[in-house]
Chains A and B, each alone.
Chain A
Amino acid sequence: MNPLAQVDARRFRLLSWSMFTGTLRSGPGILCLILTLLVGLGTAAVVLEPMDMMLAANERDHLPADQAGVMKTLVQVSTPMVSWLVAGHMNETAGQKLSPAQQADADQWAHYLLQDRPAPLSAVYMILCFSLPFLIALGAFDQVSSDIHAQRLRFLLPRAQRATIFLGRAVGMMLFMALLLAVVMAIIAIYLASNLPLYPLGSVVGWTVRCYLMLVAAAIPAVALCSLISASVGSAFASLALCNAVFCVVPLAPLVIRLASGTTWSSIITWLLPLPFQLQLFHFSLWHVAGAIVGCLAYAAGYLLVGLWIFGRRDL
């Protein structure tokens, strides 16, 4: 029987809500919130640091403390670097020269992130996007694993189908992460806007809302992968270790293999995670963004289906 056909809407809603509220109250949930906030605000502080240093230097040299001028200088300096970074993801083969079209695309992308949009927000949100899987792992590692270990699911199994339990909890965790991101990004936006009143409020809010949706799209597959791992191991600690190991090893392994052996095939490993899609979420073209969202959701669906297959067959 198709397990997805067994999912019951009422039970699904109750289990999702229970997971959502339970995580809000739980230690891992609070830890995840605090660490995400620390990473977000820490990154924002680091992003503001060059600006503060330049302003301090101006003050020392008795020059006017012109935030806008300093920001313009910083953006001009940063644009080639950002262009290189985004281009590097588009063409991962080491040493290969970009085509003029690709270079133009990268330049336009960097211009979009740093000049069309509030540059400090772009920097913070992109760094947050790539550190998000590690933070999510801290909150989402234990969706079912400790309940498997404590046999707590045995109280639920006579009352809800396995598929409903698994998917309900996964979606509840996704809702929690969406709330967490909303809180953290709102605080970051307020912090940056109050420390750097250079951008119109509408621009800050608009870019924050759009980046919020992008980060939620990036968070969904990360939560889904945690669901899969949590359903595969009957120990919360093992689940936490495995989640972080996967999020750490998959991006780094190709780099290490390439450096060690010079081979380029290792970049295939990165496709185990939706890493190639994450950067595209911040692309200037809406088509690219839509494709990246679809890619992230497809990864999430894949992880959830594998997790569902494992959870539906394992002893609980």
Chain B
Amino acid sequence: MGQVLTVTGLRKRFKGIAAVNDLTLRVPANCVYGLIGPNGAGKTTLFSLIGGFLRPDAGVIRLGERDLLQDGLPLGRIGILPQDALFQRNVPILDQLSFFLRLGGAAPAAARAEVMATLETVGLQDLSRRSVATFSHGMIKRLALAQAFLGHPELILLDEPTSGLDPEQTAVVCRLITALKSTATVLVSSHNLDQLQTICDEVAVLNRGRVVAAGPVADFLGAGRRLRLTLNRAVPEELLTALRALPDMLAVTVPSAAGLTLTMSPSAEADRTLGLCLQALLGQGLVPRAIEPAQSLESEVLTLLRQGPGPLPGPGPGAPTAP
């Protein structure tokens, strides 16, 4: 089973520039944890520090009780998809991946069998005898994912796992990541926030080497507070006035001719308010053709990042909290 990953006061500078600056983070066990942030926020550096590729200037990284900087990585228990690492170009991928497993103690035959099974999950089983020299970018990305999944690691670090993948493969990878949750803790970074919103349980927003907000995805979205309705026709003004007068209704706006956006307070009464609203609409012959959340992780993160560096939210026991 996965273990809690704790990062405390981590710092890393490159030629005087702080890539990671006093970063503190707590990743619960058996969850998919997303790292969000603009380019240069420190996501890849954080992955590299946790993976032991880079040496931090200060700070502590713990996996469970183990101090990764003092005691080293627990070999074979961490799977990593590095962003820019290259495979050997002249060695068949089956041999390369089998070698990784054999380092972990697997017998040659067992290693090859597991590699073939893992390659199958990313759709590369028919290419196992080939080297990466003939692979496309997407195929190399899938191969790198396969190597990260090898050996059933407890902690999996995936740095932009779906960049360069087609939509079908992206969906496959997202399903794989979600399925890993039962056996591992997955830390994943991506610029595709819709994707992270779907697969992540919790996220942390990084900016300028620090965590500016962290918490469950639901907290970021404020679930159910704002809904966008598409109706069969425009809402009359008097009905809009009636809707605005409903208890716990904070705002009613008309973004388009047949559209309606409802903003309700995030109280327990919000569902009742929504019910009353829908009754009123249906009573006037206005039929909702689509109801969708008006909030997204992307919009919330963009709002958060536009607010600028400002004072950090309180880190609480291990990490900053969601806004």
Structural contact, B70 and A1, CB atoms closer than 8 A = yes
B126 within 8 A of A: no
Chain A residues near B153 (CB-CB < 8 A): 158
Q: Which residue of B lies closest to A149 (CB)?
A: B86
A11–B79 Cα distance when bound, in Å, is: 17
Contact among B53, B54, B99 for A18, CB-based, below 8 A:
B99
Structural contact, B52 and A158, CB atoms closer than 8 A = yes
Knowing A152-B88, A316-B53 are in contact, say whether A158-B71 is a contact too (CB < 8 A). no
A150–B89 Cα distance when bound, in Å, is: 11
A25–B102 Cα distance when bound, in Å, is: 21
Chain B residues near A161 (CB-CB < 8 A): 72, 75
Main secondary structure of the interface of B (DSSP, over half): loop
Chain A interface bracket (under 10, 10 to 19, 20 to 34, 35 or more): 20 to 34
A97 within 8 A of B: no
Chain B nearest CB: distance from A54 CB in Å?
50
B189 within 8 A of A: no
Q: Which residue of A lies closest to B99 (CB)?
A: A18
A25–B88 Cα distance when bound, in Å, is: 13
Structural contact, A154 and B85, CB atoms closer than 8 A = yes
A-B contact count (CB 8 A): 72
Chain A nearest CB: distance from B46 CB in Å?
14
Chain B residues near A6 (CB-CB < 8 A): 72
* Per-residue A-contact encoding for B105-123, CB less than 8 Å = 1, 0 else: 1000000000000000000
Q: Which residue of B lies closest to A159 (CB)?
A: B103
Knowing A151-B86, A154-B85 are in contact, say whether A159-B104 is a contact too (CB < 8 A). yes
Chain B residues near A25 (CB-CB < 8 A): 90
Chain A residues near B55 (CB-CB < 8 A): 313-315
A157–B73 Cα distance when bound, in Å, is: 8
* Per-residue B-contact encoding for A152-181, CB less than 8 Å = 1, 0 else: 111111111100000000000000000000
Q: Which residue of B lies closest to A161 (CB)?
A: B72
Structural contact, B85 and A158, CB atoms closer than 8 A = no
A60 within 8 A of B: no
Contact among A15, A150, A154, A313 for B53, CB-based, below 8 A:
A154
A153–B82 Cα distance when bound, in Å, is: 10
Structural contact, B103 and A14, CB atoms closer than 8 A = yes
B84 within 8 A of A: yes
Structural contact, B82 and A155, CB atoms closer than 8 A = yes
Structural contact, A157 and B53, CB atoms closer than 8 A = yes
| Subset of 12 A-B contacts with CB under 8 Å | A6-B72, A11-B103, A152-B85, A153-B53, A154-B48, A157-B51, A157-B52, A157-B53, A158-B75, A159-B100, A315-B54, A315-B55
